[in-house]
Structure 1
């Protein structure tokens, strides 16, 4: 429902006050500053009308007219595997969760991709379509959007600003950063936009354009409210926070600076109502561009890999280690045979710099390493026993291709989920046998049984397993045989082996 505002009539002194306020606000919006005060002197009226500038001060019209043709609406038909989880991190979609978000805000964070029924509910199984936003980055028709907009897409269409609707295909997706790259199938010489050459600063003006609630070509404006936000949506969170009004359907749309350059991709909002309350989050252009370059050339993203488990350096840990400041990343565990182990890193080391650049936190270290290509040589400055040293590490490849969420999909009655992200143990350097647990949904049935990241699954249903697909197959076999639980033999990170029975109740997880 589109609400209309009631027009109020102002006369006399009240009207003059409103007009004065409007002039002040207009000057502030246009140039990013308030105009200098001028004396209120009476002046003679000009003899002839003065032509107004094409775009008066305080207007974003010039920016919008320049970039709006490069923004598209994205319409998706979903396949039958789409579920409630596909709409956002608040319910674990795409392997993401909000465990790091304060509990009072957790329920308010939502991905926003409007479904074809025009309501604000998450995309449901059997709800066959979704819409979002995107933007063209080349004349031959490459389009950037969010992964969660096109995840489980059966067909994709984009609608241009001139009204044309064209078929597109998914070139590649990256769930960890929630970025996807599309290609318009036919045609060329499309209008396109460019990424910004520098990161925006807090307080900079930004303009967002997208397709909220299916209302394509909608323009909103605001400022950058904060940088480096971690909302628990993924392992490499580094969001821009903006206060430009963003709603469901803006997902995948661009945020522009005042030069008409893309500085972010709108991805998430925090809202108790589901609508904009001035808390929106955009993926920085630097991150998007790095991911898109790999998707365009390879169709997938390969990330650098150290092979260490790390944790933040808290104030207590800093005091215990004799550090002046609580900065850096503490190595909790180095996995055998990994690049970090080969370079000599050990448990208890505090990594302080990467290639000479200071590291403030464990998350920053993860982002930096993941942003580098496998095979790159990296100098890691670290502290051990109060002494500084440098290790040169040749990065491996983060094991993502073999990682798969262990889940069982059913034809009509729902979905059974374990809530685990898995990878071959040998691939992550954890062991030469079994399947490694690389991610655990804290609300899933496996977590309820005490399975943790770093555990090894050795047997499922009495059968040895060596890949995520082996685990899925055995879970499916147990379910088809009518069992209410599947028995796993699990080896913990501490070396203890135990049997764990995980419920196959459809309501679980």
Structure 2
């Protein structure tokens, strides 16, 4: 209803403007006729200067030098996803597979020539930031998470095929790699030092129309609005629209301070509230994905909450800054360090704790196994503690795992991850089992139809032992034929699965 009302208003305005144009044309015709009667009018003469625009006397300096330096580092990322299978429904809207599961087969008398049909591939456009001369590109997870093919386009006209190095849905950060050298890598800034009110520029590819630059200011810091596990967004009023995701937010020196990620909008377009992942957070996640293929997060083992003025008064605090510990898990790092329920954590690893969310960010970005200092306020007195951070248990297997991206690979549509200790505990995998854990399986893939499931551990591929995710991926690249023999461990036992990619589609 709102859209219809808006269109009607626009139509009314158009009519009014059109009336003005017609009236103007009539007046011009009348004037021309009058002038013609009086004699021929003088030829039009205007002054034109070809000199470049001068920055002198402007309220703002020219950003052209900054844009020239930054623009080559921001690329367009075009993605396409595999065609999905749409199952034909029975009359009345019933799909029996919803009730009987994916293995259900229709009786012969109910079989139809076309029970499954493929839908067209989905296309999408986002942005990315070149962060190294050898082809590493920073972008958003939501830009590439379902991509089967990735094409990276640069401002000089070159195009490259991209490959996902790793993804982290918890921060919406991903890394793509292209095979190139001497690329124009951007310079990072320390995002902890930015201030509200500073001028910023947003560079990206909104709506796929081409690289676009907008300007604004930093409106706020430390926003948490998208419901991600780890959020610390920079808010800006620089225009950000669909397609800007993964683009650069830079300061007036051309240094990267954030990666544009989302907008808050009632219309779907820019309304002056955009959010960017700060570079310090994005850089930490990116380096983890590149170096280890995953994101290892620290773990304290406490339940925490924000302080209200009333709680601060009860716990003898002058202000409401810090994270209040409501419970301590027995045997956890915090328990071993001496943290108690009712403590207020005010400082962690040398940094002030603002609230529970910031403590979660600080702990999460701490390397598991590191011993760090921590200050807590207990009964109005500061207590100095040292805590040895453990690895966060129970993380989802697929958090930092790219799915198979080449349609010619064996086990197409399967994503794998390393079998680390946290995953072993989660899936109850014995210590003697070596391999790569299946992090995701496309339900429309041949591998899924053959019986491969998320949580299975791949032990062998075509009788070659598998040690980790990297080896599993290598064994799937450029297969000799379309049939792959896979040995897996699943739910306490081993079994073989034959995946015949010639049956795809």
Specify if TM > 0.5.
yes
1-structure distance, mates of 2:278, 2:194: 9
* Residue from 139, 142, 161 that aligns with 1:145: 139
Name the counterpart of 1:506. none
Aligned CA RMSD, in angstroms, stands at 3.4
CA contact (8 A) 2:316 2:379 kept: no
2-structure distance, mates of 1:313, 1:161: 49
Matched, 1:252 2:255: no
2-structure distance, mates of 1:82, 1:272: 32
Name the counterpart of 2:258. 264
Q: What runs of 5+ residues in structure 1 fail to find an aligned partner? A: 10-48, 84-124, 406-422, 429-466, 471-509
1-structure distance, mates of 2:211, 2:300: 43
Matched, 1:369 2:360: no
Matched, 1:193 2:196: no
Tell me the alpha carbon deviations over residues 110-154 of structure 1, each in whole angstroms, 9 at most, x when there is no partner: xxxxxxxxxxxxxxx965222100011111111110011111221
CA contact (8 A) 1:308 1:332 kept: yes
Name the counterpart of 2:481. none
Name the counterpart of 2:201. 207
2-structure distance, mates of 1:224, 1:318: 30
1-structure distance, mates of 2:379, 2:68: 60
Partner-residue secondary structure (3-state), 2:260: strand
Name the counterpart of 1:221. 215
Name the counterpart of 1:460. none
Tell me the alpha carbon deviations over residues 383-422 of structure 1, each in whole angstroms, 9 at most, x when there is no partner: 23344312210111123655569xxxxxxxxxxxxxxxxx
CA contact (8 A) 1:402 1:424 kept: no
1-structure distance, mates of 2:70, 2:280: 19
1-structure distance, mates of 2:249, 2:152: 18
Matched, 1:78 2:94: no
Name the counterpart of 2:478. none
Partner-residue secondary structure (3-state), 1:295: helix
Range 236-245 or range 199-208, more displaced: 199-208
* Residue from 387, 392, 396 that aligns with 1:393: 387
1-structure distance, mates of 2:189, 2:151: 26
1-structure distance, mates of 2:425, 2:247: 36
Tell me the alpha carbon deviations over residues 16-42 of structure 1, each in whole angstroms, 9 at most, x when there is no partner: xxxxxxxxxxxxxxxxxxxxxxxxxxx
CA contact (8 A) 1:82 1:152 kept: no
Q: What runs of 5+ residues in structure 2 fail to find an aligned partner? A: 1-9, 22-48, 87-118, 400-420, 427-452, 457-505
Pairing of 1:80-119 with structure 2 (within 5 A):
none
CA contact (8 A) 1:227 1:238 kept: yes
CA contact (8 A) 1:55 1:62 kept: no
1-structure distance, mates of 2:422, 2:286: 27
2-structure distance, mates of 1:389, 1:214: 55
Pairing of 1:487-506 with structure 2 (within 5 A):
none
Q: Which one has a larger percent helix, Structure 1 or Structure 2?
A: 2
Q: TM-score, normalised by structure 1?
A: 0.59
Pairing of 1:111-190 with structure 2 (within 5 A):
128-185=122-179, 187-190=180-183
Matched, 1:381 2:384: no
Q: 1:158 to 1:426 in 2, by over 3 A?
A: closer
2-structure distance, mates of 1:337, 1:282: 37
How many residues align? The count is: 333
CA contact (8 A) 1:224 1:240 kept: yes
CA contact (8 A) 1:404 1:468 kept: no
1-structure distance, mates of 2:379, 2:73: 55
2-structure distance, mates of 1:345, 1:213: 50
Name the counterpart of 2:103. none
Name the counterpart of 2:42. none
2-structure distance, mates of 1:402, 1:249: 28
1-structure distance, mates of 2:342, 2:84: 43
CA contact (8 A) 1:402 1:468 kept: no
CA contact (8 A) 2:84 2:121 kept: no
Name the counterpart of 1:312. 306
2-structure distance, mates of 1:240, 1:59: 24
Q: 1:243 to 1:401 in 2, by over 3 A?
A: same
Name the counterpart of 2:71. 68
Partner-residue secondary structure (3-state), 2:261: strand
2-structure distance, mates of 1:426, 1:167: 35
Range 188-197 or range 64-73, more displaced: 188-197
Q: 1:280 to 1:402 in 2, by over 3 A?
A: closer
2-structure distance, mates of 1:219, 1:304: 37
Q: 1:239 to 1:128 in 2, by over 3 A?
A: same
Larger radius of gyration: 2
Partner-residue secondary structure (3-state), 2:240: coil
